[in-house]
Chain A
Amino acid sequence: MKRSSQVALLLMGTAGIGAGAYAMTSPRTDCVTPSTPASSTVAPAIGSKATTEPCQPRRSTSTGYHYWYGSHWSRPIFWRSSSTASTTPPGSVALTSRGGTPSSSSSSSSSVSRVGFGTTGHAMSSSS
């Protein structure tokens, strides 16, 4: 079935979605992982049936908090991630930089204006 082949791609696609454990499939062992930097976290064992086919991203294993992410194991990104989010509650927009010194190409904080987008969205939210 055509869809099965797509799902195979899906099954080999990275999910790692969520902070919890989601065992979508068992780990794939018939592939070769690229050399992994020493700084990487735990790498999956390579099965004896390894082929020259490179490992593809796949869904998480039962270890939960890690997922196969291309050439290395990684913490899941999704949800309340450690991104450099600069979300600001409505009405409390900070007008200066946050989270460190602006890069050399940054604009001067004193000359930057804000709250020029989002007004319609807030108006819609407050009216609904």
Chain B
Amino acid sequence: MRRISCDERADWRAAAEQMGFDFHTLDGERYWDERAYYAFTLEEIERDLEAPTAELDAMCRELVSRAVADERMLKLLRIPPSYWNWLATSFKRGDPSLYGRFDLRYDGSGPAKLLEYNADTPTAVFETAVFQWKWLEDAKARRIVPKDADQYNSLHERLIAGWQDIGKGRRLHLAGMTGNAEDLGTLTYLEDCARQAGLQTTIVAMEAIGRAPRGGFVDMANAPIELMFKLYPWEWMMREAFGSSLPGAATQFVEPPWKAILSNKGILPLLWSMFPRHPNLLPGYFEDDEKAAELGSSYVRKPLYSREGANVELVVAGHAVDQDAGPYGAEGFIRQALSPLPQLDGNYAVLGSWFAAGQPCGLSIREDLSPITKNTSRFLPHAIVG
């Protein structure tokens, strides 16, 4: 794993915008950054990233299978009891998942370590699946990478395959915060994949979802929502006004309700307790667990519910050396062993390993000058060059 500086395309911004990638720059700062790329060997990809991703997914499903039968685990995850049966039914029924992203700490040596699992609302999907691939094609033409360079990336195809399996030709409603450019971009890209899979589609703002008198959800035309992709956290939906109607609704959701169990930093200590000393896990404990003291005075403190690094705190020798502000933390925290991100050319890098339609299928890399990856952290492309 190497970070290789390279020239950026003079017209990449125009290319991005032409493709609908409007959020390549956030708050005046680069989000897409092709002034360098990460180079991997095939062995690094297959042995250290792809295989562990499949194993982590299997471990997470094992966790869910235990959690739905053990209310102590659901309590630890602070999932409201009124949803427990609903989550259990969803899992036992086999409600399908479309995708997820495991964020890993990896530096090219030793096993990748799970930092967190974006199981419910992973983003960076378009730039991973499409614009990164476009970069590779151009990089080959510009001789930035060898002609036979490759990329760990079949995410686009997996998403289409996933929609084919899930949708079965039905109408799909895609719901989210449509006033947010990144969220709308993600919704629109997934809509594209769904259309290619043969589904009819409708994008709907979260606040525009209607509830009929009998509790079913409807769109703006008051048509029933049979199948809904929602780019909106389960923990928010459960606590909002229509949340009480979720268990009784006929709507099939993607991601499915059981993913609410995994979209929670509490799975990190639960996985560690289920699979102690697993090479792809870091020691982790709930903050109020006396075993947390085993981590000593250096650790990472994470809220159970958090997005994009918000409210994450790095504690070294008892002192917080870095933290990202945010609105999370009311439900409690976990502590995870400190495993600093690799620093390459002054940049901290975290790897996002994608899992879609039942397979590991792609890689995204985020960089930051800070050791905590945030929503403003830059996205860099990668290539397999050996």
Contact = CB atoms under 8 A, between A and B. Distances in A.
A127 interface: yes
A106 B221 contact: yes
B207 A86 contact: no
Interface in B103-133: 130, 133
Given A9-B157, A106-B222, A117 B237 contact: yes
B189 interface: yes
B19 A79 contact: yes
Interface in B191-225: 191-192, 195-196, 201-213, 216, 218-224
B239 A113 contact: no
Contacts of B245: 116
A111 interface: yes
A94 B220 contact: yes
A27 interface: no
Q: Which of A19, A78, A100, A103 has the most CB of B within 10 A?
A: A78
B153 interface: yes
Contacts of B210: 107, 112-114
Contacts of B178: 87-88
Nearest to B230: A117
Interface in B139-159: 148, 150-154, 156-157
Given A7-B150, A24-B137, A81-B192, A103 B203 contact: no
Nearest to A94: B220
A90 B208 CA distance: 9
A4 to B, nearest CB: 6
A15 B209 CA distance: 30
Interface string A100-112: 1011011111011
Contact of B209 (A80, A81, A114): A114
A17 interface: yes
A83 B236 contact: no
A45 interface: no
A72 B201 CA distance: 19
Interface string A78-98: 111101111111100110011
Q: Which of B130, B177, B216, B232 has the most CB of A within 10 A?
A: B177
Given A115-B207, A119-B240, A98 B196 contact: no
A14 B219 CA distance: 29
Interface in A8-65: 9-10, 13-20, 22, 24, 57
Nearest to A90: B179
Interface of B is mostly: mixed
Given A97-B220, A117-B242, A125-B177, A22 B134 contact: yes
B42 A1 contact: yes
A59 to B, nearest CB: 9
B180 interface: yes
Interface of A is mostly: loop
The bracket for how many chain A residues form the interface is 35 or more
A86 B205 contact: yes
B169 interface: no
A116 B211 contact: yes
A3 B245 CA distance: 45
A93 B208 contact: yes
Q: Which of A19, A86, A94 has the most CB of B within 10 A?
A: A86
Contacts of B327: 124, 127
Given A83-B202, A107-B210, A116-B241, A78 B20 contact: yes
B213 A111 contact: yes
A3 B221 contact: no
Contacts of B338: none
Contacts of B191: 77-78, 81, 83
Contact of B150 (A1, A102, A114): A1
Nearest to B179: A90
B160 interface: yes
Nearest to B192: A78
A17 B213 contact: no
Given A81-B192, A112-B218, A125 B179 contact: yes
A35 to B, nearest CB: 17
Contact of B45 (A3, A16, A103): A3
Interface in B312-368: 327
Nearest to B194: A77
B219 A86 contact: yes
Contact of B218 (A10, A107, A120): A107
Contacts of B196: 14, 16, 57, 69-70, 77
10 shortest interchain CB distances as A-B pairs: A116-B242, A79-B20, A118-B206, A18-B19, A118-B207, A86-B220, A20-B18, A78-B192, A107-B212, A116-B241
